């Protein structure tokens, strides 16, 4: 400790000399020489050390009570001897734990032998380092974080559900569109097949052209199979067709005049 004090004083002397060397000659004439007083009270330092030393009451450390120093050396072999491979982390940590466990058991036995309590009494009241208000704030923060985490998870679950629902709707719509396209193609094929069969049936008739008059009359009256719904509904083409319109037929025949009284009497 005395050597440390001397070193500190030497450093300060060097700093003061450096400051003096930086002064001009005119300033050195007015400077007052000052010598630093070095204080190194060795006897007082040794007396303070003796007051806290175990050697004052117990000349040999081995005879000092264990509860005064709480230090011991394990009786187990050194870790370097019990661990062949120092790079084996599991074996090394297990050996450290074993040495610490045996040392703890030895220390507990020594404390019990000296009558020093080792475990905390059941009625011991230990005041917390943190105040109740601080712990309440910590609990509130933990609850708030848990609630926020739960809300985020619920929002994520709802987003995933909405995405899944939209995907299902998209798939259903695509399937319906595919079915509609398929049905349209089937209708087109049916219409083409019907036209082809009609042309073939008409060309293979007796006259080689249209069906006979009887067949046409029945077809006009009863239909000819296939779709019946809206088959007789008018459309723009039929509404604009005036080929069957006749003014004479609309007026009808003139009503004959009533015969006279004599003709009626003769007819009787």
Write down the pTM of the prediction: 0.30
What CA–CA distances, in Å, run from 45 to 39, 42, 51? 12, 5, 10
164 shares a domain with 135: yes
Is residue 231 domain-resident? Answer: no
Residue 234 belongs to a domain: no
Could you tell me if residue 171 is inside a domain? yes
pLDDT above 70: percentage of residues in the chain: 72
pLDDT in tens, 66-122: 887 788 887 777 666 777 777 778 888 888 888 889 999 999 998 999 888 888 888
Instruction: Let me know if residue 209 belongs to a domain.
Output: no
Q: Are residues 102 and 149 in the same domain?
A: no
Decide: 67 and 111 in contact? Cβ < 8 Å: yes
> Cα–Cα distance between 93 and 104 in angstroms, integer?
16
Residue 251 covered by a domain:
no
Q: Which domain holds residue 74?
A: 65-120
Residues 144 and 193 in one domain: yes
Q: Which of the two residues, 217 and 248, has the higher pLDDT score?
A: 217
| Residue 210 · residue 216 · CB < 8 Å | yes
Q: Are residues 48 and 85 located together in one domain of the fold? A: no
Residue 212 pLDDT > 60: yes
Last residue of a domain, one of 202, 221, 250: 202
- Give the tens place of pLDDT for each residue, 4-61: 445 555 555 655 555 556 656 666 566 666 667 767 888 888 888 877 776 566 656 5
195 in the same domain as 134: yes
| pLDDT at residue number 23 | 59
One domain for residues 194 and 136: yes
Residue ending a domain, among 161, 176, 202, is 202
> From CA 73, how far away is CA 165, in angstroms rounded?
70
Average pLDDT over residues 201-224: 69
Does residue 156 register a pLDDT over 70?
yes
pLDDT value of residue 47? 86
Answer whether residue 12 is part of any domain.
Answer: yes
Tokens of 214: 């009887």
Q: How far apart are CA 198 and CA 209, in angstroms?
A: 11
Phi first, then psi, for residue 61 (nearest 5°) are -60, -25
Decide if 136 is inside a domain. Answer: yes
Task: Name the phi and psi angles at 255, rounded to 5.
Answer: -75, 130
- pLDDT at position 5: 45
Q: For the chain, what is the domain count?
A: 3
Instruction: Give the rounded distance of the alpha carbon of 215 from its chain centre.
Output: 76
Return d(Cα 89, Cα 221) in angstroms, integer: 103
Instruction: Write a three-state SS string for 171-196.
Output: HHHHHHHHHHHHHHHHHHHHHHHHHH
Position 175 in a domain: yes
């Amino acid at each position: 400790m005395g050597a440390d004090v001397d070193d500190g004083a030497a450093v300060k002397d060097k700093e003061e000399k450096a400051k003096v060397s930086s002064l001009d000659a005119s300033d050195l004439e007015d400077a007052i020489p000052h010598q630093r007083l070095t204080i190194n009270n060795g006897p007082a330092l040794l007396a303070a050390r003796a007051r806290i030393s175990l050697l004052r009451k117990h000349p040999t450390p081995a005879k000092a009570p264990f509860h005064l120093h709480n230090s011991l050396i394990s009786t187990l072999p050194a870790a370097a001897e019990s661990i062949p491979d120092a790079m084996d982390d599991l074996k090394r940590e297990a050996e450290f734990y074993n040495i610490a466990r045996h040392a703890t058991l030895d220390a507990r036995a020594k404390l019990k032998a000296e009558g020093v309590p080792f475990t905390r009494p059941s009625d011991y009241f230990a005041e917390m380092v943190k105040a109740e208000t601080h712990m309440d704030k910590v609990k509130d923060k933990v609850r708030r974080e848990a609630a926020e985490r739960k809300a985020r998870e619920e929002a994520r679950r709802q987003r995933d559900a909405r995405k899944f629902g939209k995907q299902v709707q998209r798939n259903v719509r695509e399937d319906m569109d595919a079915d509609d396209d398929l049905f349209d193609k089937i209708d087109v094929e049916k219409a083409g097949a019907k036209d082809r069969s009609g042309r073939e049936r008409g060309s293979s008739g007796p006259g080689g052209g249209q069906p006979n008059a009887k067949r046409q009359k029945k077809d006009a009256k009863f239909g000819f199979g296939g779709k019946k719904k809206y088959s007789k509904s008018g459309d723009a083409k039929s509404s604009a067709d005036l080929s069957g319109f006749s003014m004479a037929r609309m007026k009808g025949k003139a009503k004959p005049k009533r015969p006279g009284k004599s003709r009626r009497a003769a007819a009787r």
